[in-house]
Structure 1
Amino acid sequence: MKASIVNTHMGNISIDNEVIAQYAGAVAMECFGIVGMANVNVKDGLVSLLKLDSMTRGINVTLDESNKLKLDFHVIVAYGVSISAVSENLISTVKYKVEEFTGLEIEKINIYIEGVRVID
């Protein structure tokens, strides 16, 4: 089990990285221009849109030695939106909400645009 540890005056809090990925994914889906998380099949080079119940496969959470988070998002964006504007919005929203939720500092958020979809 990979987990992030928060030390408090009352003891330690262990947060599973899967929980952080689920929360970060839910926050990302609220951002304008994000269609969903992407599953990248490296072997075949295929990208597919993940369903809401498995979107954590499109998010990688790592914790470094200084107890800071690094998040990697593989996303599919809506056609016709500014990728830089969507990315900046995603970074600022996720950074604020995840830091508030976990109490851990985010060192870096990487966004990988894996595809573009037309929204009906």
Structure 2
Amino acid sequence: MIKFYNPLGKVCMTSDYFAGLVGAAAQSCYGVCGMATGGTSDSLKTIVLGTNYPDKGVRVTEEDGKLVIELHIKVTYGLNIAAIVRSITHKVKYAVEDATTLKVERIDVYVDDIV
């Protein structure tokens, strides 16, 4: 849960909100086949919840009032991976900053699979 203060009071945003926002922005980029599981916790969630759940492959944390986003993706074979990652970072940063007015410190994109 990300918390910040504005002149009207305290605002709390859940990780599910960020997961949906970031996941939708990343999956809409050309060359992204889907989200990959990002570690053992995601692997366990896949077993329990099935293959599609909101925060699959997305982790958002806060450092010094700025967001740090970690993405695990699957990309299409034969495409330029560097171009795909650049596209994802620009689109995700714009989507998050536009929707929440919070600043994004960095976006770490991990290509876990080539399909």
| Common topology (TM > 0.5) | yes
- 1:113 deviates by 0.5
C-alpha distance in 1 between matches for 2:87 and 2:38 = 23
> Residue 75 of structure 1: SS of its match in structure 2?
strand
Higher strand share: 1
Moved over 4 A (4+): none
The number of equivalent residue pairs is: 108
Gaps of 5+ in 2: 41-45
- What is aligned with 2:76? 78
Which deviations, in whole Å up to 9, do the C-alpha atoms of 1:29-76 show, x marking residues without a partner? 11011000001455xxxxx9x84x415121111111x21110100100
C-alpha distance in 2 between matches for 1:55 and 1:79 = 25
C-alpha distance in 1 between matches for 2:61 and 2:78 = 32
Asked whether 1:15 is paired with 2:13, we answer: yes
Higher helix share: 2
> Residue 56 of structure 1: SS of its match in structure 2?
coil
- 1:18 deviates by 2.0
Gaps of 5+ in 1: 43-47
TM-score, normalised with respect to structure 1 = 0.82
CA RMSD of aligned residues (A): 2.0
> Residue 53 of structure 2: SS of its match in structure 1?
helix
- 1:1-120 matches, cutoff 5 A: 3-40=1-38, 42=40, 51=51, 53-64=52-63, 66-117=64-115
> Residue 55 of structure 2: SS of its match in structure 1?
helix
